[in-house]
Structure 1
Amino acid sequence: MVTETAQSKRPIRWHIAVFLAPAVLIYTAVMILPLFGTLQLSLYKTIDGVRQFVGLDNFRTLFGDPRWSASFWNALGNNLWFFVIHMLVQNPIGIALAAILSHPRLRFAAFYRTAIFVPTVLSFVVVGFIWKLILSPLWGVAPWMMGLVGLKSWFTPWLGKEEYALTALGLISVWQFVGIPMMLIYAALLSIPDEVIEAAEIDGITGASQFWKIKLPLILPSIGIISILTFVGNFNAFDLIYSAQGAMAGPNYSTDILGTFLYRTFFGFQLQLGDPNMGATIASMMFFIILAGVCVYLFAIQTRLRRYQF
């Protein structure tokens, strides 16, 4: 009886709703409503100036029409390669840098962390323009710098060749954002209890062996989070490609990704007229791809990584 009375007199915590309300309202206005608006727009088509409901016809056009499907699959394939570059280059380098910078005897570690993280806060436009100047065969410094080490014969206009342009842009993006996985893994390494490290040292596990056998399994959850953030970020990529190669994502659409394909379709570019309905269809497919990737991570990967959490 006393327990029921105490529960009935428990105060309602209205302050929680008050504090959450501004964030929920802003997120709903900026993210949720535009998302549903995009999904709705993909189900309509403007015919003779009249907006008509066509159901999934726009999706059938995207996958069934050879002109649309060729561009979509080309952009999707480029997006996948862009993501693979970040997974195989950016994240391993970030983990290695974090392991080095977390060494207690390393001098000037704070300076190194800052220097590596600074490119992350730079504008995409600045990064794209600077690297176009650096890699330019006419006035760039890359040929001269490669000549200093005897590698000038290896230089080629990477951003101007179809087989190299996307990889070059991917590596530029890696240079800009490698500081993010470095800092996240660095924080995860610092959170490992000292007792675990001391026990490993007592057992004679030190140096690189300690990282591979002790630290790496313990930071796997953080690596999983970095991987899904990389996936979402790369399938939302647009700025660097647009600033470096323009909306046409040249040469010959070799750097075209879903973001630039969406931009040209929705807003139009040069002789191509904008089609908001097909643009919304492409945006919806981007949302479904990202949603599928996040679900795979949450239900197939994260559940297996929980065993390594403290």
Structure 2
Amino acid sequence: MAARKPVRWHIAVFLAPAVLVYTAIMIIPLIGTLNLSLFNKGPDGVQFVGLANFATLFGDPRWSASFWNALGNNAWFFLIHMLVQNPIGIALAAILSTPKLRMAAFYRTAIFIPTILSFVIVGFVWKLILSPIWGIAPGLLDLVGLKSLFAPWLGREEYALTTLALISVWQFVGIPMMLIYAALLSIPDEVLEAAEMDGITGASQFWKIKLPLILPSIGIISILTFVGNFNAFDLIYVAQGALAGPDFSTDILGTFLYRTFFGFQLQLGDPYMGSAIAGAMFGIILLGVCIYLFGIQTRLRRYQF
């Protein structure tokens, strides 16, 4: 008679606290929000309306214009992070992983420090720096002879969102840098030594050997960037307020959700339509994560050790 495998109760014991906390602060509120999006106020009080709130959000011009504007701004916000933040993070990691580089630990710390700063501090400080009245940006540009390029970037519709995205890049570039740095250090020395014996060194070694081996880590960074940017709210709210000015040019799904759910100034809060916006955000993020998990990650596994 075959011996029965012992039940590994210790796994459940170690996972239980995290599962309970995550369920309490994430799963239950998510289910409640999705449930609330299926109701609305009617002549007889709150009543079940099914997907009518979503039909209003996507089909009613009064709602759809704001939603698609916020979604487009969110997509641009995410694209800047993908095209600027992540490549810079990869480049910094490649440079800082060079064995001969002096003070590499200091540089890593200095680049990573902004990620632990509060959004309130970052937004307020950068508003002061870029202020055309008392900011230091005009003076700094004047020192290098580029004062003519200065403009009130946070006050112009065509520049405000890009400026905020670049501020966010400055704050969070340390995260992809550290993740890629860790991935580069995990590459076995035997692989690099074999490449050196074949005459592959320097930049050529990075492009031909290291980059393919860290593709799984780059994929993880990409999906984290996607989820983080489509959940963004704090920096826009701190820098531009709930109205996401000028003229809603920096409005993203997070600020649109905030104004709709809680209300702002003369706009009354509507928790039912706000829940519909939150449900749409959840669907967008879920779709992006599923595309990554089933369409991209499976192809990157062959590069893992």
TM-score (structure 2 length as normaliser): 0.99
Once superposed, which parts of structure 1, at least 4 consecutive aligned residues long, lie more than 4 Å away?
Answer: none
Task: Point out where structure 1 has 5 or more consecutive residues left out of the alignment.
Answer: none
Query: Within 1, Cα distance between the matches of 2:272 and 2:220?
Result: 34
Shift in Å at residue 108 of structure 1?
0.2
Structure 1: distance between partners of 2:135 and 2:168: 19
- Residue 14 in structure 1 maps to residue 9 in structure 2: yes
| Superimposed CA distance per residue, residues 89-120 of structure 1 (whole angstroms, 9 cap, x where no aligned partner) | 00000000000000000000000000000000
Aligned-pair CA distance for 1:173: 0.1
Residues 159 and 49 from structure 1, CA distance in 2 versus in 1: closer, same or farther, beyond 3 angstroms?
A: farther
* Matching of residue 292 in structure 1 with residue 268 in structure 2: no
**Structure 2 partner of 1:252:** 247
Within-5 A mapping of 1:228-267:
228-267=223-262
1:12-161 aligned at under 5 Å gives the runs: 12-48=7-43, 50-161=45-156
SS in 2 for 1:262: helix
Residue identity matched to 1:18: V
RMSD: 0.8
1:270 counterpart = 2:262: no
Residue 24 of structure 1, CA deviation: 1.2
Match of 1:304 in 2: 299
Structure 2 SS opposite 1:248: coil
Q: Which of 143, 154, 157 matches 1:162?
A: 157
Deviations 1:256-308 (A, max 9, x none): 00000000000000010000000000000000000000000001100111111
1:18-56 deviations in whole A, cap 9, x for unaligned? Answer: 222221111111111111101100000022471100001
1:234-258 CA-to-partner distances (Å, cap 9, x unmatched) read: 0000000000000000000000000
Structure 2 counterpart of 1:107, one-letter code = R
Number of aligned residues: 305
SS in 1 for 2:46: strand
Give the whole-Å Cα distance in 2 for the aligned partners of 1:111 and 1:150. Answer: 31
Question: Counterpart of 1:171?
Answer: 166
Identity of matched residues, %: 82
1:206 has 2:201 as partner: yes
Q: Which residue of 2 aligns with 1:225?
A: 220
- Partner letter of residue 166 of structure 1? L
1:13 Cα deviation after fit: 2.6
